[in-house]
């Protein structure tokens, strides 16, 4: 025996389910420090420049992403990188202040891992928000759009690789990826506040470069109303786990080459005076629409919580007849 040889073997990293479970247990331990705090059944993911909603939760437990085992860290501007769990009125909500994206160097599986953790925590409904480019000429800047379907053009799927049946089935159905009953709750909340809410199809690209005018013409031709660089991996993983989904896009800019003032020929763009897009514009528009979105979420979340009650109509809700 060579006693001088060093043992260089390392402990293999736990599988994804174990990592998600350990992260969830860490969060539960933090919640246990506040006996009044319940386990959340609703989670909200806040996109670029939309992170202020978490300030409405009182009392709250705040955990930086880097404290949570295996949790990815946000590096994008406008994404704070904190998990805030607290009370919105009588409803306990988990709020992610920022997400991670594939363009930061994460895989689709890593980008969606926080949703795995939220699912293991006990979350049943997921509300996603994002900043998006408007393709549909009916949308102006600052419009709020409920995503009704998506087109995944990111070149990756977070479910690729071996399937863990403890999360969900090998081939999850995505016919109703976005829960219709939750969109109706949002539409009702919009009417209450006098807001016009649109519904549309979201195209997800990898980024980080913004799209070219030619790409935007292609996206519109295949049925996209919005374009962005997030959300879809989270939706796929949520539906894989049986979590209901509502997604709201804030149109922070008209997509490349579009002239919103000339909707009839918007597909042509304006090659003589192209309008450049920058992230500061996205953040500024998000700041302007923040108040509207916060008011909307303030009614949507109690509405979703109410839908969990057994005496409520369940058609179209996850895990019930008529739902997927």
In a domain? residue 29 = no
Q: Are 101 and 114 in contact (CB under 8 A)?
A: no
Dist. CA 99–CA 111, nearest whole Å: 8
Q: Which helix (H) or strand (E) holds 307?
A: helix 279-307
- Residue 319 pLDDT exceeds 60: no
Tally of domains within the chain: 1
Specify if 13 maps to a domain: no
Tell whether 320 is covered by a domain: no
**Rounded Cα gap, residues 324 and 315, in angstroms:** 10
Please provide the distance, in angstroms rounded to a whole number, between the alpha carbons at the two ends of the chain.
60
Contacts 24+ apart (CB under 8 A), 18-25: 19/69, 19/70, 19/113, 19/116, 20/70, 20/113, 20/116, 20/117, 20/119, 20/120, 21/120, 22/69, 22/70, 23/68, 23/69, 23/70, 23/71, 23/117, 23/120, 24/117, 24/118, 24/120, 24/121
Q: How far apart are CA 110 and CA 143, in angstroms?
A: 30
Report the Cα 237 to chain-centroid distance in Å: 11
Cα–Cα dist 54/59, whole Å: 11
Distant-in-sequence, close-in-space partners of 130: CB < 8 Å, separation ≥ 6: 47, 48, 228, 230, 231, 247, 248, 249, 250
274 pLDDT tier (thresholds 50, 70, 90)? low
> What is the average per-residue pLDDT within 258-286?
56
Q: Residue 85's pLDDT is what?
A: 96
Q: Is the pLDDT of residue 1 over 50?
A: no
Q: 124 is in which domain, residue-wise?
A: 34-307
Distance of CA 218 to the CA centre of its chain: 24
- Does residue 224 fall inside a structural domain? yes
List the CATH number of the domain containing 298: 3.40.50.1580
Residue 324 is predicted with a pLDDT of: 38
Q: Which amino acids are annotated catalytic?
A: 48, 79, 101, 103-104, 131, 229-230, 253, 279
In degrees and rounded to multiples of 5, residue 312 shows phi and psi of -90, 150
Other C-beta atoms lying within 10 Å of the C-beta of residue 321: 8
| Percent with pLDDT over 90 in the chain | 67
What pLDDT is stored for residue 259 in this prediction? Answer: 58
- Whether 20 is covered by a domain: the verdict is no
Q: Which three-class secondary structure state does DSSP give residue 244?
A: strand
Residue 264: which pLDDT band, with cuts at 50, 70 and 90? very low
Does 276 map to a domain?
yes
Say if CB 53 and CB 93 are below 8 A apart: no
Predicted TM-score (pTM) of this structure: 0.88
Q: At residue 226, does pLDDT exceed 80?
A: yes
Give the residue carrying structure tokens 């009370």: 87
> Within a 10 A sphere around the Cβ of 139, how many other Cβ atoms?
23
Nearest CA-CA partner of 42 in 300, 310, 322, 296 = 300
Q: Does 262 fall in a domain?
A: yes
β-bridge partners, 203: 151, 227
Judge whether 245 lies within some domain.
yes
**CA 314 remoteness from chain centre:** 23
Portion of the chain with pLDDT greater than 70, in percent: 82
Q: What is the pLDDT of residue 84?
A: 95
């Amino acid at each position: 025996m060579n006693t001088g040889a060093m043992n260089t073997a390392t402990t293999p990293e736990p599988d994804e389910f174990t990592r998600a479970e350990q992260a969830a247990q860490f969060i539960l331990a933090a919640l246990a420090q506040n006996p009044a705090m319940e386990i959340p059944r609703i989670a909200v993911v806040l996109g670029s420049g939309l992170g202020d909603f978490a300030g409405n939760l009182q009392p709250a437990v705040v955990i930086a992403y880097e404290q949570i085992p295996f949790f990815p860290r946000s590096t994008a501007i406008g994404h704070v990188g904190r998990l805030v769990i607290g009370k919105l009125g009588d409803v306990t909500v988990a709020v992610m202040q920022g997400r991670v994206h594939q363009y930061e160097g994460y895989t689709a599986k890593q980008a969606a891992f926080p949703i795995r953790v939220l699912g293991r925590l006990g979350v049943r409904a997921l509300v996603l928000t994002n900043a998006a480019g408007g393709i549909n000429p009916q949308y102006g800047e600052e419009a709020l759009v409920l995503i009704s379907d998506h087109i995944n053009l990111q070149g990756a799927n977070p479910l690729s690789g071996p399937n863990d049946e403890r999360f969900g089935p090998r081939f999850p159905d995505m016919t109703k990826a976005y829960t219709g009953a939750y969109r109706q709750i949002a539409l009702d909340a919009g009417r209450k506040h006098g807001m016009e809410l649109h519904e549309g199809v979201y195209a997800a690209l990898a980024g980080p470069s913004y799209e070219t005018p030619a790409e935007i013409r292609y996206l519109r031709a295949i049925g996209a109303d919005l374009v962005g660089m997030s959300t879809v991996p989270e939706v796929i993983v949520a539906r894989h786990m049986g979590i209901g989904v509502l997604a709201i896009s804030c149109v922070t800019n008209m997509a490349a080459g579009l002239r919103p003032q000339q909707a009839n020929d918007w597909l042509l763009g304006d090659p003589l005076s192209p309008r450049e897009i920058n992230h500061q514009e996205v953040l500024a528009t998000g700041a302007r629409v923040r108040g509207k979105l916060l008011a909307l979420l303030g009614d949507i979340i109690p509405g979703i919580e109410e839908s969990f009650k057994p005496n409520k109509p369940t058609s179209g809700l996850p895990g019930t007849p008529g739902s997927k």
